[in-house]
Each structure stands twice: as structure tokens, then as C-alpha cells.
Amino acid sequence: MGDSVTESFDYFDGDIPIFISIPHNGFAIPANIAKTMTESARQSNDTDWYLDRLYKFARQRGYYMIIPRYSRYVIDLNRPSSGESLYPGADNTELCPTTQFDYQKIYQQGLAPDSTEIKQRIDSYWLPYHTQLKQVLTRLSKQNKRVLLFEAHSIASRVPRFFDGQLPDFNFGNFNGKSSGYKLANLVDNWQPKGYSKVFNARFKGGYITRCYGQILPNVDALQLELSQATYMNEQNLTFNKEKAAEVQVKIIEFFEILENFYAKS
């Protein structure tokens, strides 16, 4: 298939059946949408910042990758296109979010997207990303005994809207065992990053991509990691902390070496 650069995402081919998706790494906002947003929303503060830098090793190791260019404020690629809630009863942001994580408004008064605009964004941004995901996973599933879709995410260590107190460092999820086989779950259970906290299927069990693609093909496992931004950023000013990042990257690579050994040889 080969690498490809599109208007809405970058895709990188690989040779090991591990496919990393980073759906909230983009922060660009098209000019026609930006002009409808508030000044604070144009900063795209709830981006999963710098994950492309943190996971740069993946391309060198031969993993497949897909990275969007546009902000989750434009459209959330990790939500179903139907707009159905992933966590019924809990506070959620929408397919095309109208509030930031701190409840500040994303749109100026009366300028939130209507159904026609949302449909256009689905066609322009959501469908291309998911079409690429499906095509690559289908091809990999035919060529390999086991395939891993790894959903890479990060979030501020404190977001009262979604969880109390401070978030653990590594937050894994496989939709309570529904998006992967038990062997992968055992690998996650048995791995403990020294010096960091870790939970599995706690507040973050896996979003739409994990839940969907971990169940549609029998030999594809899907696993989400929600990494606390405190492990690699200066959270106060949203800047990359090279020292912190280098330390946590060692642990992430350590985990992927375990995954690679399992999926490359299965």
C-alpha cells in the first residue's frame, strides 16, 4: 500500500502487524471553521499533544501508523458517526464537540455546527480516517495470524469533568476484555512500568475505535492507552518536556518490545 499523505491524515506503512492510531494528535482547524469558534477554542487545548514525537520510534521499528491533521474540536475521530454516547450516564463530549474539557464554549453564540455541517465533517474527516483504518486492518488480518490495533491517547493529569483527583500514569483499556483476546490482556496485566502507576479498564476502557475494530475481525486485537500528560509534558504551559518524555518513552518502548515479540511471532 505504501505511505500516503492526504488532506486530513498521514499514513505510514510497516512490516510488523502492529498498527498505531493517534486520533487526537491533530490540532489544525480549517479557516472556515475557526472563524466560528471562540478565541480559546482555536488553541485546541484538549489535543493529545506531542504523541507523534513520543511514538516516533514506531516508524523506525516497522509499525503501521495513522495520524490525523485536524483537531478533535473539528470532529472527534474516536466517536461513532451516529453520535451515540460511549459512556451512558457519564459526562461526554460529542462527535463535533461544543464544549472544551473545562466546559468553556467552543463556538461563538449561534454558530455551533448544525446537522448539515456535521454531515459534511463526517464526509471530509471522519470517513477518510476510518476507511483507511478498515482497509489496512482487513489487509493485515488476511496476512497475519494476529494483528494489534494500538490506540495511542493522552490527557491532562487532572480533568475534574471526567475523573476525580489525579489520573494514573498508564491507563490501558480493552473494553472490559471485549476488544482483544485473553493473551493480550495477560500481557497488559503482567507488565508494570517501574516508577509509574498503571490501571487496566478503569475510567478509560477504550473509545469507539478500540470497541469497533477490536470486534469486527476475529484475529485483530484492539488496545487503548490513555497516557497522563504529566509523564511527558509541562502541563501548565502545554510544552514538551524532553527529560520526562525520554524517561517514559523507555517504558513505552519496553512494552512494545513485548508486544512485538508476541505479534511478530504469532
Q: What is the pLDDT of residue 91?
A: 75
* 194 burial via Cβ count (<10 Å: 0-12, 13-18, 19+): exposed
Looking at residue 108, the DSSP 8-state letter turns out to be -
Q: Which fold has domain 4-26+47-77+124-265?
A: Aminopeptidase (3.40.630)
**pLDDT averaged over consecutive 10-residue blocks of the chain (266 residues)?**
79 97 98 98 98 97 98 97 78 92 97 98 98 97 97 97 96 97 97 98 95 93 98 97 98 98 84
H or E, element range at 234: strand 233-234
One-letter amino acid of 121: R
pLDDT (0 to 100) of residue 10: 97
Structure confidence at residue 153 (pLDDT): 98
Residue 121 CA from chain centroid, whole number: 19
> Which string of b and e fits 147-160 if b means at least 16 CB within 10 Å?
bbbbbbbbbbbebe
Q: DSSP class of residue 107?
A: B
**Of 210, 146, 208, 134, nearest to 172 (Cα)?**
210
Domain ranges of the chain: 4-26+47-77+124-265
pLDDT attached to residue 29: 98
Other C-beta atoms lying within 10 Å of the C-beta of residue 109:
7
Q: Could you give the strand order of the β-sheet that contains 9-12, starting from the edge strand earlier in sequence?
A: 4-5, 9-12, 63-68, 16-21, 147-155, 220-228, 170-173, 198-200
Cβ 221 vs Cβ 214: under 8 Å: yes
What pLDDT is recorded for position 266?
A: 66
Q: What angle do CA 28, 29, 30 make, to 5 degrees?
A: 120
Per-residue confidence (pLDDT) for residue 172, from 0 to 100 = 98
**φ, ψ for residue 218, nearest 5 deg:** -65, -25
